[in-house]
Structure 1
Amino acid sequence: MSIRLRLTLWYSSILAVTLLVFGIALYTFFSYKMNTDLRNELVIQAQEVNKGIRGYGVFFTLPDLREFKSAGIYLQSISIQGQIKRSTNLRSNLPYSEAAIALVLKGEDAFETIKVNQESNLLMYYSPLVLEGSLVGVLQVATTLDDMEQFLHNLWLVLIVIGLLTIFLAASAGWFLSRKALQPIENVIEAAGAVEKSADLSKRIDYDGPLDEIGRLTDTINGMLSRIEAMYTELDEAYRAQRRFVSDASHELRTPLTTIRGNVDLLEKVWKSTALQSGYENDSGGRLIQEGNVELSLEAMHDIASEAERMSRLVNDLLSLARADAGFAMNKEPVEMKPLVEEVLRRAQFLPRNAEWAAGDLGVLEGVQINGNKDYLQQLLFILIENAFKYTEQGHVTLDALQAGGQIGLRVSDTGIGMDKDEIPYIFERFYRADPSRGKKAGTGLGLSIAKWIIDAHGGSIEVKTRKDEGTTFTVWLPILGSLSYPG
């Protein structure tokens, strides 16, 4: 619920309660006032009748009501002997209450409301009838309540209509005024939304109103945006410099490493040839070969070549990640998945490994195409397969495929050392190495980071299932060409 609606409901509710209390008070006042006036009028009429009564002993006559100018007043007397006399404006006797009669005969007066038909009520006043100082009967003075009840009914209707109309007009005016009052806040929200959508921190909120709470809020947000823009600019420049450094360093290191590896391979071949010609053999202890005054060690040359190769892999990985950080957009085209996976299966059998290598069911790949980059997809699979070989000393590693929800899944499973489930959220971070048992294996800790980048670039996802000392399964889901759904 918006602030505008809450404000409108609040003051509309307050106004409604105020009008309700005022209406009830006004209705109660008029009801009490009119009822009191009628009672006073009946008492006065009774007193006038007592003054104008004529007769002797128990015989008396009632005066003409026109003498009192009270056409709406009805009179009736009941003598002690039970004789009833009524005024000329009555067609029939007035009803009466035995309890009220008994009360008057004791010297007291009483009021009573009597319903004479379905639509009319009478207010009745009982008064002692005294002639020459003696109680000769009971005097009933009555009047109808129709006029008073009709007036109160109309008053109640008028109060309801006026109250509802007032609440409606007040709510409409309040809705309009609250919208006008809260418009600067709407401007703040729209400006903030524009900054969020466009990521343009140079935008500011326009405000030309008074320096009230909203004005100060606008100034505060604009100041905050300025500071965020400055900090973001500094961070972005530092990040770009870092990306440039990594990219440039990777490019620069590739050339000397390639040269080192090439020369080491050449020297190793030359020295092996020289050793054979001189009658020397290379044993596992790294036996020395002497030619002139130079002592060469084949074991040392192997170490240099191995480290150079490892550095080359690291440089290539860093270069791939630098491209990813720089927003590199790989070229994509429709790729047949079955030939791609079969090529990976063929080449993977030549990788260094101790585990058995086997292919699972690949039938679902028949005729399946995805929009992707063939080289990067092969690199993705080789990263997962090499990891499986690395951490599986015995057992087997398999690659199979499955399909679900418009996506194709490539699953690499091993029976290796596995990992703790708590490590799964971190394995795609750069340079992350799991527990010490995995740290004993050679590697840069960048392979899975590169794999995750390739998967994200293809709009896919990856699932990891693992159990300590039992193995790990990586399942890569890629959308089939023309489908953007995800597995359920």
Structure 2
Amino acid sequence: MIGRTLSARITWWSVVWCAIVLLVFTMIYTVSFHARSVQSYKHVLQLEMATLLGQGVDKLVEQDDSSNWERYAAVTDSAVRLTDNRGNVLFQITSPSFSSARINQIANSVASGLDAGASGQSGTQTRWNQSYQWHDEKGTHHAIVASRQVSFQNGTSGTLQVFSLTDELAKETWWTFEWLTALDVLILALFAFGMRWFTQRGLRPLNLLMEGIQEVEWNQSPRLNLHRVPGEVESLQQSINQLLDRIDQGVQEQNRFIADASHELRTPLAIIAGHANLLRRWGRENVRVWEPAVRNINSEVARLQKLVNQLLLLAKLEEAPQRRVEGLTSADIQALFAQLRQDAAVLRPDLDIVVRVHMTSQARAFMDEDDLHQVLVVLIDNALRHTQEGRVELAAHGDEGMVRFTVSDTGEGMHPDVVPHVFDRFYRADAARASSRGSGLGLAICKQIVESYQGKIYLRSKPGRGTTVIVRMPMQEPVGLEHLVPGPPHAPGTEHKEIPIDESRRTAYPDAIEH
């Protein structure tokens, strides 16, 4: 399980970090303990040297009986040596650990360093040497040496040295290190066990989540449904369920698209195949068969080409990034509406085509003119085809930082169950609409174009009272495309162009263009 692997990794790296911390603490404590112990040894040697100096170095030279000092050296395991400036031994006390030969060896080893360090120094300063060690059958021994320059009454000088063995100090230091190391191992074992238990218990909700995901993956469960889990896991569960919902929705839309596209392609292909068979059988000898067959084949090929072009356009709109446009002013929109009105009047001269533009002269609609033309052509074409009598109204209004385009008709309208699906690809409401030559992609293309400019498109319709399609696009000032400037719909200085219409028809459809 992933949760268990993560638990092992967390435990491992936590134990490694704890081991490093404990090791550093052990080293620091051991070094500190050794330093404190050395200071204690130095303090004892300083007291011993002060006792010797308190007796007077000249009296030490004159002593014939040194039995008291020998007993003291035997108890403290230290040795004393007094020499003149020529290196002649004037007074010396040995011990079991420091024979005369060993004392001479140690003194000769540290003499050069002491002489160099003593030059120019005060006679009251003690010099230390802790680096001397030797080996014998009993093991390795370490010694600390305290040296101090002294002056005699005859005007000469010498050196007083006290030698002390530090083997016990080394043993105590090593024992302290071993004891702390054993304690560290015990602490690490307890820490690793505790971390393993806590991480497994803490990651248990994550393991449950992974098991739920695997059940969903193998279709054993439709969605994750974990109970009594932490808030973070609950939030993650909701996000995963929402993602699965979107995936299912996308798969369903893809399957529906494939089915609809296959259906749309099957009909013209069947027509082309039928007419081709007629041509193959009778076309060579019968002109009456040849001419309508070729005409119908050309018509269906044109329909297929249009359908393919629309599908390619949808794919291009989904992948293309947002473009930089200069926007459309009120004058641009008025000119575009005039052209659309003329084209619509040619197609349906029996309908009233009404155009309204109500925008500030400084405002711009954030949209390319060709794209807006393509959207409005589709909307007006739908309005013309589904309006038997009455009017079609095309309007543009400034509306709280947006430009609202509306295409309204007084046609047959749509049932409320149909309205939520009109922007789906290949969707056509009923048999009457499905009998038309459209592909069901026009409104889907309009929606994709509008949303590529961060706009919105929606539709309102009532059976028998017509349909209104509303397109809301960002409105901008000409100083730049990055700033949206709200414009009141009836601000002073606005331009208003309106073609009079029959008021009786307005009252018959009062809410078609209201937002």
Structure 2 length-normalised TM: 0.43
Structure 1 length-normalised TM: 0.45
